[in-house]
Structure 1
């Protein structure tokens, strides 16, 4: 028996019963050999691997150890990838140097050699006229447990500190924290986050607190990694109300073309704009074919 604060007498619970229940729960939680095998198979399947698609071989060292660079430009998400394809990749000759093979709950790319037009991908290139410029187009989802693997496979365990990293990505405007109503915001709009060692000024206003950017671009990924390793890096974040491939959202990244990292890589902005429009039209046609 036990007395409560108000003097009421209540029966104390029997400890023996709870111990039996705890033992049953513990037995239920014990991993069987079959469970362990399934878990190991799943872990192997979720391993991030960097491949050379042409040679059909795995990169034995990190990408940036194999291809050291002074500029590393990363586009994450469909609109950032479309922008980079139209304005940067069409202004020079780029050679593919690697491809990330990923398998998770949102990305099931098994055959990296033959990607369909609508399939998610993560491919790396360098500029043939200046191999110290490396570019990444990542339209696929990198799960939380795969982000550190991705960083190690790309940057390595001891990355060079004299490179400039530029990251482009999008978030939905409802993720933007502000005292104003999100309906009054003119979307899309651009915000920036930078590391303490950033050597160049951002091309737009900085992201205000208490906003955070989760996932591969920042909190769990590239920007945090660059901050720890004291690498100059800027993340350009486009807040939009359209998360599918969208011309206006992709064009919102245009101010970034005036940055030191991208300025010399663009040759003809009007022509690149037309290429972007054609890319959007082609994507609509292909989406209709594959759905």
Structure 2
């Protein structure tokens, strides 16, 4: 083969090279698929039960009148201080998940608590749930309860800076609500005004309940506080008045736990420590 300058070059057949490249490409694609499958499996949300939900030992409870989900630091700590610190609760399981914001390679876990006398389920969610895990988390948890006559209450917290309104919300935390069409009782606070949107796990839970005609209500706290304090926790109290009556509780806080959380918040918000 001659070039423009008269050099003679040897000609090699590319058939073998192309076959080798194709084989290498297929091996790389298969390796990539294996990695994606392993990652997808690792990101699966799993509910692990430590005790049977129903008296007969089945996977589904005989009756679950109320499911309470607390999403976010303020909401989950309110439930711990005002609700789980009183009454008779059993730890019945965990909702385990892994994503890019879990610590190291360990799974994050949301603990499921059950009231012994009324079979009410409570789940504080104080970990990050990724977008691709939201509906999977919801389906896994809702699939483990009997939705006949079920009432779902979701407590959530959000920065006040994300709330769009013509009037400023003010320095104090405020509570807004959103509910499904099956929820007939009037919420204890004004609704979320347009054009505000509810996102994340609360939106996934409400969407699931709306689709399956389940009575559900969301109470979302908007606050400027960087760390949960007593005022941002206290704002949730009116939302659980009915549930507290069912459980026979007065929703008074556990003073020791409240002091612990407040002291942690003051340390975290101190720039010089």
Q: Same fold (TM over 0.5)?
A: yes
Q: State whether structure 2 residue 195 is matched by structure 1 residue 200.
A: no
How many residue pairs align between the two structures? 240
Q: State whether structure 2 residue 83 is matched by structure 1 residue 88.
A: yes
1:38-57 alignment runs, 5 A limit: 38-52=35-49
**For the aligned residues, what is the CA RMSD?**
3.1
Q: Give the greater-gyration-radius structure (CA).
A: 2
Gaps of 5+ in 2: 1-24, 53-57
Stretches (4+) displaced over 2 A: 52-55, 65-68, 107-112, 184-187, 243-247, 260-270, 273-279, 281-288
Alignment match of 2:235 (pick from 242, 247, 252): 252
The structural deviation recorded for 1:245 is: 2.9
Match of 2:124? 137
Match of 1:9? none
Alignment match of 1:242 (pick from 218, 221, 225): 225
The structural deviation recorded for 1:97 is: 1.1
Work out the CA distance in 2 between the residues paired with 1:197 and 1:174: 31
What secondary structure sits across from 1:170 in the alignment? strand
Work out the CA distance in 1 between the residues paired with 2:174 and 2:217: 16
Match of 1:265? 247
Provide, for residues 159-217 of structure 1, a one-character-per-residue CA deviation record: whole Å limited to 9, x for no partner: 6241111100101111111123x4x6233100000111103221111111111111101
1:1-291 alignment runs, 5 A limit: 32-52=29-49, 65-66=60-61, 68-108=63-103, 121-131=109-119, 133-156=120-143, 160-180=147-167, 182=168, 185-218=170-203, 221-258=204-241, 260-265=242-247, 267-270=249-252, 272=253, 274-281=255-262, 283=264
TM-score (norm 2): 0.77
What secondary structure sits across from 1:193 in the alignment? strand
Gaps of 5+ in 1: 1-27, 56-61, 113-119
TM-score (norm 1): 0.73
